[in-house]
Amino acid sequence: MTELLPNYAAGRWQTGHGTGAVLKDPVLGQDLVRVDSTGLDVPEAFRFAREQGGAALRALTYRERAGLLSGVVKVLQAHRDSYYEIATANSGTVKNDSAVDIDGGIFTLGQYAKWGDALGDVRALRDGDAARLGKEPVFLSQHLQVPTHGVALFINAFNFPGWGLWEKAAPALLSGVPVIVKPATSTAWLTQRMVRDVVEAGVLPAGALSVIAGSSAGLMDQLGPFDVVSFTGSADTAGIIRAHAAVAQRSARANIEADSLNSALLLPDAAPGSDAFNLLVREVVREMTVKSGQKCTAIRRILVPQDVYGAAAEAIGAKLAGVTVGNPRNDGVRMGSLVSTAQLHAVREGLAQLSAHVDILHDGRQVPLVDADPAVAACIGPVLLGARDADAASVVHDVEVFGPVATLVPYRDMGHALALAQRGQGSLVTSLYGADEAALGHAAVHLAASHGRVHVVTPDVAQAHTGHGNVMPMSLHGGPGRAGGGAELGGLRALDFYHQRSAVQASPGVLAALGL
């Protein structure tokens, strides 16, 4: 029987009492490891994290906690090669795609370590200047932010087992809030290994970081009024979390990242063959194929002027035809597999649903896999769809296929294009391509109301822009409406979720004694 990975909770490693769920290699079909949390004393785990981990973290200053993050970075860098091996085996990703998850997480931790160091040797943060409460400046109101006295529960998605942990844990730990992470079962191995390495290195106080790699049953029940929960996953599960008594009645804070039908918009000034046109084509292909399209920020809808539709279909299809799909261990493979056969089935079902209403412009499913058995491997080639009637094909704006699939959508004019982008009902990101700065600026402000991030690409930033789907710690990650209404990262803004804002009303002398 395969190895059973232990959970780390209540300051010790604990294995579940059940047979557990088997994690598989999505390309070779081999059993890898098992995860299980049956019999785990969940109340004890939360109590230990809240009382021991939280108290130890809050006793430190922001600068000292930033030092802890730097220590975590060093541990992860020392074990980096083993993480790539796990990612290849458990997620089926090629090396470049694994880097997005592994190195992206380490980079984010390093950024928060730098920002935290600059906050200095304080244990609370000043929020603005003191305000007079009367005519004379003898009684003032000073807003401040203090770490919440609770636990941060992370319920994470399968596509980023590394980055998904650290992009949330970095601001939480810097804030002084202990973390309990529940990774998605299918790819939990990488999360568990990273936590194991950090715990064994002893760089964090006991209870500051825990991992429960089995079932999520009972975790939400443990949340109290000062705890927070951050969820990444489906809108259906997000609805369950919002309706849970911990959130609905006990007012635990919830941050949700759910479905997102992100768009890329080519402005009318970008003719076929122009620099902006070529930049759109390149970015679409990259977003369709990085991590096999399994990114919450991936481009799902490509909005182009109707007279450019044919040229865009041809250019994107030509580049997709050069994408090799198969075993990520083969150096000739550019795109690996989906994370599981279950995810492959979901993508096929989604494609069938969309295909009834659109044209198939490029079908990578017909291309033989490289060094992989199609009867076993959870691989699928990229598929470009086309919706000639953008208004009638409502399914394109409603159904997200979480894989290497995108739909080309023609628009009549800019008003029509902006309306189509907003039919996503709230998205994490949209990207704009063109050279007309005035038109781009107008579109960016218009779309900002329905998107967490607007990524504008002009020819002069061709080599500098960070990518439509690349989430940088300096910028907001989240979005309104269908995208979940959440907000992560954005520099030190991320600390807001883990702090309580309070107003202290007192004399200038008392306010000076706050130590801010």
Please tell me what DSSP assigns to residue 368.
Answer: P
Listed in sequence order, the residues at least 6 apart from 273 whose beta carbon sits closer than 8 Å to its beta carbon are none
Distance CA 217, CA 167 (A): 24
Listed in sequence order, the residues at least 6 apart from 136 whose beta carbon sits closer than 8 Å to its beta carbon are none
What is the phi/psi pair of residue 463, to 5°? -95, -5
What length does the chain have?
Answer: 516
**Identity of the residue numbered 436:** D
| Residue at token pair 């959970």 | 7
Tokens for 425?
A: 């009902």
Distance CA 20, CA 29 (A): 18
Q: Which of 296, 379, 400, 488 is catalytic?
A: 296
Tell me the pairing of strands 209-211 and 179-182. Answer: parallel
Query: Is 296 known to be catalytic?
Result: yes
Question: Cβ(379)–Cβ(369) under 8 Å?
Answer: yes
Question: Cβ(373)–Cβ(379) under 8 Å?
Answer: no
Tokens for 231?
A: 């969820």
Listed in sequence order, the residues at least 6 apart from 412 whose beta carbon sits closer than 8 Å to its beta carbon are 306
Q: Which of 257, 283, 287, 488 is catalytic?
A: 257
Question: Cβ(154)–Cβ(169) under 8 Å?
Answer: yes
User: Three-class SS of residue 35?
Assistant: strand
Question: Cβ(206)–Cβ(11) under 8 Å?
Answer: yes
User: Three-class SS of residue 474?
Assistant: coil
Listed in sequence order, the residues at least 6 apart from 493 whose beta carbon sits closer than 8 Å to its beta carbon are 476, 487
CA torsion 16-216-210-92 (nearest 10°) is 90
What is the phi/psi pair of residue 266, to 5°? -95, 120
Query: Which of 158, 208, 218 lies closest to 183 in space, CA to CA?
Result: 158
Query: Is 257 known to be catalytic?
Result: yes
Q: What is the CA radius of gyration of the chain?
A: 24
Query: Which of 262, 319, 268 lies closest to 479 in space, CA to CA?
Result: 262
Beta strands in 276-334 (DSSP E): 299-305
Tokens for 40?
A: 């785990």
Question: Cβ(145)–Cβ(495) under 8 Å?
Answer: yes
Q: State the catalytic residues.
A: 257, 296
